[in-house]
């Protein structure tokens, strides 16, 4: 299922999502417990977190990194993502696309 649009931009146009380094993940489950959007699942065979629904991740949120004791979660560059959002917003406005309610 597609994520919710971000400031009117289709969510799939913004590549903001966590990645989990399986070498570092110890399967503690803190990321699952602290993400309100169900982005992660725990692979119980491997005891590793996996990203199950990347588009549910809130654009520019990186809260879960603060709960991971082993630094296993990474995100794209925040400043580059902000620049991309600004470019996409300009493009949408140039095309006359109305901003949707958040
Ligand atoms: S918080 Fe970190 S170590 Fe714990 S399950 Fe999530 S990614 Fe793995
Ligand atoms: S950044 Fe926020 S929304 Fe995205 S996976 Fe982490 S806690 Fe969930």
Q: Which ligand is nearest to the CA of 56?
A: 2
70 is a domain residue:
yes
Q: Which atom of ligand 2 is nearest to the CA of 65?
A: 6
Q: Ligand 2 pocket by C-beta < 6 Å: which residues? A: 18, 35, 37, 39, 57-58, 61-64
Nearest CA to ligand 1 atom 4: 28
52 is a domain residue:
yes
100 is a domain residue:
no
24 is a domain residue:
yes
4 is a domain residue:
no
Predicted model pTM = 0.90
Confidence (pLDDT) at 95:
84
CA distances for 25 relative to 11, 51, 66, angstroms: 27, 12, 14
Count of structural domains, the chain: 1
pLDDT band at 1 (very low <50, low <70, confident <90, very high): low
User: With 60 as the cut, is the pLDDT of residue 101 above it?
Assistant: no
State which residues form the domain around 21: 11-94
DSSP string, 30-80: HHHHH-TT--EEEETTTTEEEES-GGGSPTT--GGGGG-TT--EE---HHH
Task: Give the CATH number of the domain where residue 89 resides.
Answer: 3.30.70.20
């Amino acid at each position: 299922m597609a994520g919710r649009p971000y400031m009117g931009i289709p969510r799939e146009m913004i590549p903001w999502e966590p990645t989990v380094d399986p070498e570092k993940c110890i399967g503690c489950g803190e990321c699952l417990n602290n993400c309100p959007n169900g982005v992660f699942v725990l692979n119980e065979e491997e005891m590793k977190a996996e990203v199950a629904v990347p588009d549910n991740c809130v654009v520019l949120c990186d809260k879960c990194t603060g709960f991971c004791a082993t630094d296993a979660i990474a995100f794209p560059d925040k400043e580059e993502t902000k620049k991309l959002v600004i470019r996409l917003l300009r493009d949408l406005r140039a095309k006359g696309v109305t901003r949707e309610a958040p």
